């Protein structure tokens, strides 16, 4: 998928993906660091996905951190709950893997796993 300004569009696609997978909430994306350019090999982008209700009230419980990078020509997404550092982390590359945030070992998916897995799949489908 090609974009005129890929940095702005990638953030918009991430926000739209979050809106679709976490209805009825609305999301904004704030770049933490890095860049992502379509077709580039050296990409590493970290963003925060911030959640609000329809009235605009912040819902920090649903905020996420997303790191997007390429590893061995493969697009990888790492998603974690922004304000809950002890919650499991989703690693989505060629396989989906849930990791314990304290030791990095594989763990049982949390009860909300399908929502984050759907978000990762949707983002990957837009940009991979």
How many percent of the chain have pLDDT more than 70?
88
Beta bridge partners, 90, equal: 79, 98
28-70: pLDDT as tens digits: 999 999 887 666 667 789 999 999 999 999 999 999 999 999 8
Strand 44-52, strand 96-99: pairing: unpaired
* pLDDT for residue 117 is more than 70: yes
Average pLDDT over residues 13-17: 93
Return the number of other C-beta atoms located less than 10 Å from residue 127's C-beta: 19
Separation between Cα atoms, residue 121 and residue 123, nearest integer Å:
6
Return the number of other C-beta atoms located less than 10 Å from residue 81's C-beta: 21
């Amino acid at each position: 998928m090609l974009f005129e300004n890929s940095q702005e569009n990638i953030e918009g696609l991430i926000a739209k993906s979050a809106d679709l997978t976490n209805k009825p909430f609305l999301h904004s994306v704030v770049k933490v660091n890095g860049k992502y350019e379509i077709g580039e090999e050296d990409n590493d982008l970290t963003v925060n996905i911030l959640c609000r209700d329809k009235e605009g009230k912040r819902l920090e419980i649903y905020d996420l951190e997303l790191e997007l990078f390429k590893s061995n020509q493969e697009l990888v997404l790492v998603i974690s709950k922004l304000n809950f550092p002890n919650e499991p982390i989703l690693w989505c590359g060629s396989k989906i893997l849930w990791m314990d945030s304290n030791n990095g070992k594989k763990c049982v998916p949390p009860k909300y796993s399908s929502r984050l897995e759907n978000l990762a799949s949707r983002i990957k489908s837009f940009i991979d």
